[in-house]
Structure formats: C-alpha cells, structure tokens
Amino acid sequence: MGHVSPISIAVKILILSEGSAQALKVSNAEMTEPIKYTVFIKAHAAGYI
C-alpha cells in the first residue's frame, strides 16, 4: 500500500460512519486545522484510530 494521508482516511471513515454532507464537503475542500482535529476526534471516538 502506498503512502495515504491519514486525513483522507479519517475523512473516509467519517463519511462511512456518519454519511454526512458535512464530511463530503470537508473532503472536497481545503481542511483547516480545527476541522482536521474534529475529524480525528470523531474517528477516534468511533474506535477507528
């Protein structure tokens, strides 16, 4: 497996776990630091990280 961004993995997990439009918007937009942390916190809370 090649180098994959942890951010993109977390976003995909967030999309799969919540199916939210917000997650889709985040994945298509430049992620700001607060959004990055929010994604990681949600992914961690879901037990993926």
pLDDT tens, residue by residue, 1-49: 567 787 787 777 766 666 566 666 666 665 566 777 777 777 777 776 5
pLDDT at residue 3, as a whole number: 72
pLDDT at residue 44, as a whole number: 75
pLDDT at residue 26, as a whole number: 63
Dihedral through CA 7, CA 11, CA 12, CA 15, nearest 10? 180
What are the sequence ranges of the domains in the chain?
A: 6-45
Q: What is the DSSP string of 3-48?
A: ---HHHHHHHHHHHHH--HHHHHHHHSPPPHHHHHHHHHHHHHTT-
